[in-house]
Structure 1
Amino acid sequence: MNGKKKGKTEAGGKKTFARLAGYIRNYKGLYAGLGAATLVKIAVSLGIAWFLSLVTDAAVYGSPYGWPTILAIGGSILLLDVIVHYIDQVLRTKASASIRKDLREDTLHHVLRLPAGYTDKRHSGEFLSRMTSDNQAVGEAMGTMLLGLISNPLLALAAFAYLLTISWPMALLCFAMGPVMIAIGAVTGKAMRRSAAGQQEAIGEATVYLQDVFGAPSVVKAYGMERRTFDSFVKRSRAILGWELRSGRIQGGSAASSAFAGNLMFVGAIVAGAYLVQVGSITVGSMLAFIQLMNYLVMPFTTLPGMWASMQQGLGAADRIFEVIDAPAEAEQLRENGEKAPLLNELRIENLSFSYASEGENAEESKGLRELSLEAKAGETVALVGESGGGKTTLFKLLLGLYPPNEGRLLLNGESAENMDLHRRRSYFAWVPQEAHLFSGTIRDNIADGRPGAGEDEIEWAARMAEAYEFIREFPEGFDTKIGERGARLSGGQRQRIAIARALLRDAPVLLLDEATSALDNESERKVQKALDQLKQGRTTFVIAHRLSTIQGADRIIVMEQGCAAESGTHDELMALGGRYCALYRAQLREEQSEPAAAVV
């Protein structure tokens, strides 16, 4: 069983690196420059060893070169070393940053095309973790680590070749350490990758938790959750610590083993070199060159296990990123919402059924809709009422194409929505959710999201129609006012009116209103309701209503229960029927009549 797991890990690592190689190929010129810089660095390193031999032999035995020439040679080598190290570092940083940039963009490009069924099951912090900490680890692996894994062995080979010209027996003895170091790297690399994957997962969980905490600090304080919140985070923080300590132990064992083998070989080579000088086989200068070359031979093999471990960590992070990128997308390309919405003559739903059941769940027990059928003509208003969980919001998700139905179909002007491009399908709809979600930026930006490219006059018109123009002008910066995270600088009613303005600017023929006024005070509700009345004009409207008094004029009212249309008709027809709607309406009416009396008491 372990053998199978290891084999799978190795195969997965090769496949992951092959995919990352595709990103590297996008920057062939950059990596070619890095290759050239690496070769020059190796040549400079060997030049330094040769220069040490030259200077030492000149001091001990004399030299045909004059000291000004020797100093000029040394200065040239040092100047070239400075220049090539600068170029190498700049190119490595550019390579790493470029790979990170491409991965970030590819990840977000794919996340934006993922179906709601995938994103709804995952916390936004998971995606954030992959685009930050995982992305950073991959960039480091494809820059510094990858170049180190290539340049260090090349330096060792070049140093070995030079050592052969000084003393081939000692060169062979020193090079024998290579397989030992490679074996150490192979053993610790696998363990490091598993540890790194656990560490990245723990960091991702902590990121998810912190995002929840930082997103609702007032709730934490209001419910006295500070201590419990801190204790929960401490558990996640300790989990990260555990993985980090495990990684540290693996890296420590690798570094200690490598250092012992390297130092043992280095000391042995120095002793052997001193002996060869004594017997006259090599010069003192050659011995100093040999010592310097030993550094170039020992150092690469000593650092290789650590670099290999870091590379494995980067590959583990890449696995997490590719897990998201490999998830099936709902569309091939991203498209901007700039087209004029098509006209709608008729919307018809035929036997629509849907279940949220996942694998292993009972589909019947998790039904969202059951054989729902209805139709709406242009300009009609259809109200959906009923208890929570009846399928009202689920219907909106299916209309928007966020989830595919299990059975049945949606027809727009007689054409099946399932056969339409998702962008074209969604252009039929403008959605105003119960809680308006605004984005960081200005008021203008958020209204313009309804139709990118809209002119200033169109944006102001939408704001006026949404009863938002007056409060916007009260801000010193007007439409350029920054609203903060999720519109934190605005009241609930103001946010909702901005969302309505956004829907107005979209100018879609079908309007979806999901309890757009349920969380507002009376004054805000009055203004928002007025804006909604403007928005409904000339549009087919589906409205989910909690307060039944707001939908008495609807062309059709549908009572939803357990995913089915339990009752359907106008307000008067349903009241005359004396069924579920009538009971809901009378109960709500009694509740509203009792509120003034309670206020007086």
Structure 2
Amino acid sequence: MTQSHPLSRLLSYRDRYRRQVWLASLCSVLNKVFDLAPPALIGLALDVVVQQQDSLIARWGIPSIRGQFIALAILTFVIWGLESVFEYFYKTLWRNLAQSLQHHLRLDAYGHLQGLDLAYFENRSSGSLMAVLNDDINQLERFLDHGANQLLQLATTALIIGAAFFILAPSMAWMAILPMPFVVWGAIAFQKRLAPRYAEVRERVSLLNSRLSNNISGITTIKSFTAETYETERIRQESEAYRQSNRHAIALSAAFIPLIRIIILIGFTAILLYGGLAAVAGELAVSTYSVLVFLTQRLLWPLTSLGETLDEYQRAMASTQRVMNLLETSASISAGTQPLPKGKVRGEIWFEDITFAYEARHPVVQHLTLKVPAGKTVALVGATGSGKSTLVKLLMQFYQAQQGRILLDGQDLRSLDPTDLRQAIGWVSQDVFLFHGTVAENIAYGSFDATLAEIQQAAQMAEADEFIQQLPAGYDTLVGERGQKLSGGQRQRLAIARAILKDPPILILDEATSAVDNETEAAIQRALEKITQNRTTIAIAHRLSTVRNTDRIYVMAQGQLIEWGTHAELLARQGVYAGFWKIQMGE
């Protein structure tokens, strides 16, 4: 199915702006109507000078020359005043519309983006998504600030002056009108050729943003491998590609104005010559001739700006296409609607015959059945890539299994509201993400109404309060982007404190002690023993010493369960788990 034009997609995006669009458009049109009046005022003034008591104004009931000029002066003040008033209104309305639309479009796009599956983000870079949310939406704002008004006023100019020519001098109207079809045809032809070039420009800037974002995030790695020159060259290549795609678009758009000027020159010269001869021969009033000359200039000369306006328009439409494509991207996971009150969750989890594969890959979990009793602590162990973290992502409904189902307290996860489900789960990932903000803000993330006393209590349980008190500003210390001012162990303990403060009925510890030393690990283990009481807990670990006291240990290999039991039972079995234990104990 072919997509509709980006402009129609944008106009149908939000009905709330239609009234403001119409009002802004009306003010633009009225401003141009009064802006086109001065040539008529000049014609009336010449008419008074030449015709005197027989002038047009005299026929309105003002016979004296002085009175006619006073009336003309008053009319001039009124027209110029109204032009200024409507200029103020159209600029205010269009700019406020641009700001409002930009604001809501960015919020809607970001909100929609947050609702998409993790698989969507895995196939796209953060830089390309940032280009859509920032650059593309800003490009649309720039067009609404200027371009929309210019297009409307060009159309108004053509209609009013075209009508004036047919009224004042029908025999010469065609001379002024003749260039216009060529101008319009040229504009459409340029537009068709510019569209793909600007689409390429937007794609190139997306790739450049992606590279820049990736390099800034990985600046430590770049420096440690002394790869500054290499990365500078890669940025140069991306920037050069962006520059070249812009150059191709500029080469075409810049040719528009010179060509249009030649066409305009022909129309203006024709009116100047034939109109002057007609005025000398007495076939055309001098006042009418002066009005026609001025109107011809007012009609044709603004068309030279059509190229710049179309340039803005095409850039805006290329950006709009990308934003609308994002908004119309649907999630591949069907979200349930059944509410799940956090206080009523017991925490019994049942993985029933689960098979799952990431896109275009071999299954990472195959026909797995596993039960986690309510209020108990179980551990998932196994080699890297055995499917442990994937099970957690399935439980969080970041992905959905291709086969089988997951039950929580007997309810299929696919029927539950994913927001309610995730509010019932506390997840401490091995890749801790801290936001740029204070220590307190990061601990309270997700529990935004927590008091400082509650934050401190959670930090104490996570064995984090001591090091926080030693920071320059304590709980008000800024952690830096991604928590770069803290050590790995400190970040890990803040993440645990964050989960403790959330107080979820289900707790997931995905390598929660992977980045800490032995002393800190012992401290965290003491804290975990307290917080896992009467709470369903799933612990993923490579360091088996951290899970030896769990109620049950499941051993995974290649997406399947191969052993399960308590630590003592698995050691007695002398199987895979016992082999892992011996290696870690140095035996």
What residue identity is the alignment partner of 1:260? I
| Residue 118 (structure 2) pairs with residue 116 (structure 1) | yes
| Residue 22 (structure 2) pairs with residue 25 (structure 1) | no
- Which residue is 1:255 aligned to? 257
Q: Does the C-alpha gap of structure 1 residues 326 and 29 become closer, same or farther in structure 2, counting only changes over 3 Å?
A: closer
Q: Does the C-alpha gap of structure 1 residues 408 and 12 become closer, same or farther in structure 2, counting only changes over 3 Å?
A: closer
- Which residue is 1:494 aligned to? 490
Structure 1, residues 364-409: CA drift from partner, whole Å, max 9, x if none?
xx21101111112233221122211111111111111111011111
Which structure 2 residues correspond to residues 146-185 of structure 1 after superposition, within 5 A? 146-185=148-187
> Which of 449, 456, 460 lines up with 1:453 in the alignment?
449
- Which residue is 1:507 aligned to? 503
Structure 1, residues 427-453: CA drift from partner, whole Å, max 9, x if none?
332100012111223333222223233
> Which of 402, 407, 432 lines up with 1:406 in the alignment?
402
Please report how far the alpha carbon of residue 17 of structure 1 lies from its aligned counterpart in structure 2 after TM superposition: 2.2
Which structure 2 residues correspond to residues 213-362 of structure 1 after superposition, within 5 A? 213-329=215-331, 340-358=342-360
Aligned counterparts of 2:380 and 2:550: Cα–Cα separation in 1: 10
Please report how far the alpha carbon of residue 69 of structure 1 lies from its aligned counterpart in structure 2 after TM superposition: 4.5
Please report how far the alpha carbon of residue 486 of structure 1 lies from its aligned counterpart in structure 2 after TM superposition: 1.5
Aligned to 2:367, what secondary structure does the other structure show?
strand
Deviates more, 1:456-465 or 1:149-158: 456-465
Structure 1, residues 531-573: CA drift from partner, whole Å, max 9, x if none?
3333322222111112112211122222211111122222222
Aligned counterparts of 2:263 and 2:336: Cα–Cα separation in 1: 55
Aligned to 1:12, what secondary structure does the other structure show?
coil
Aligned alpha-carbon RMSD (Å): 2.6
| Residue 442 (structure 2) pairs with residue 440 (structure 1) | no
> Which of 364, 367, 370 lines up with 1:371 in the alignment?
367
Q: Does the C-alpha gap of structure 1 residues 31 and 323 become closer, same or farther in structure 2, counting only changes over 3 Å?
A: closer
Structure 1, residues 324-376: CA drift from partner, whole Å, max 9, x if none?
212223789999x9964433252221111101133xxxx5xx21101111112
Contact 1:450 1:504 in 2 (8 A): no
> Which of 523, 526, 529 lines up with 2:525 in the alignment?
529
- Which residue is 1:12 aligned to? 3
Aligned to 1:379, what secondary structure does the other structure show?
coil
With normalisation by structure 1, the TM-score equals 0.89
Aligned counterparts of 2:140 and 2:298: Cα–Cα separation in 1: 27
Contact 1:189 1:305 in 2 (8 A): no
| Residue 43 (structure 2) pairs with residue 53 (structure 1) | yes
What residue identity is the alignment partner of 1:244? N
Deviates more, 1:382-391 or 1:286-295: 286-295
- Which residue is 2:60 aligned to? none
Q: Does the C-alpha gap of structure 1 residues 25 and 285 become closer, same or farther in structure 2, counting only changes over 3 Å?
A: farther
Structure 1, residues 153-201: CA drift from partner, whole Å, max 9, x if none?
1211101122233322222221122211111111111111111111000
> Which of 141, 144, 147 lines up with 1:145 in the alignment?
147
Deviates more, 1:23-32 or 1:93-102: 23-32
Aligned counterparts of 1:41 and 1:65: Cα–Cα separation in 2: 30
Structure 1, residues 136-160: CA drift from partner, whole Å, max 9, x if none?
2223344532333233112111011
What residue identity is the alignment partner of 2:172? M
- Which residue is 1:597 aligned to? none
Contact 1:437 1:486 in 2 (8 A): yes
Please report how far the alpha carbon of residue 254 of structure 1 lies from its aligned counterpart in structure 2 after TM superposition: 2.1
> Which of 560, 584, 587 lines up with 1:588 in the alignment?
584
Q: Tell me the percent identity.
A: 30
Aligned counterparts of 1:312 and 1:352: Cα–Cα separation in 2: 49
- Which residue is 1:387 aligned to? 383
Aligned counterparts of 1:296 and 1:117: Cα–Cα separation in 2: 56
Q: Does the C-alpha gap of structure 1 residues 200 and 469 become closer, same or farther in structure 2, counting only changes over 3 Å?
A: same
Gaps of 5+ in 2: 56-63
With normalisation by structure 2, the TM-score equals 0.91
Aligned counterparts of 1:377 and 1:263: Cα–Cα separation in 2: 86
Aligned counterparts of 1:164 and 1:579: Cα–Cα separation in 2: 98
Contact 2:346 2:375 in 1 (8 A): no
What residue identity is the alignment partner of 1:325? L
What residue identity is the alignment partner of 2:503? D
Aligned counterparts of 2:334 and 2:155: Cα–Cα separation in 1: 43
Please report how far the alpha carbon of residue 287 of structure 1 lies from its aligned counterpart in structure 2 after TM superposition: 2.9
Aligned counterparts of 2:477 and 2:316: Cα–Cα separation in 1: 41
What residue identity is the alignment partner of 1:265? G
Deviates more, 1:17-26 or 1:206-215: 17-26
| Residue 202 (structure 2) pairs with residue 211 (structure 1) | no
Aligned counterparts of 1:341 and 1:484: Cα–Cα separation in 2: 35
Q: Does the C-alpha gap of structure 1 residues 325 and 135 become closer, same or farther in structure 2, counting only changes over 3 Å?
A: same
Aligned counterparts of 1:394 and 1:334: Cα–Cα separation in 2: 20
| Residue 25 (structure 2) pairs with residue 35 (structure 1) | yes
- Which residue is 1:191 aligned to? 193
Aligned counterparts of 1:317 and 1:185: Cα–Cα separation in 2: 20
Aligned counterparts of 2:538 and 2:347: Cα–Cα separation in 1: 15
Aligned counterparts of 2:104 and 2:436: Cα–Cα separation in 1: 24
Deviates more, 1:237-246 or 1:482-491: 482-491
What residue identity is the alignment partner of 1:538? N
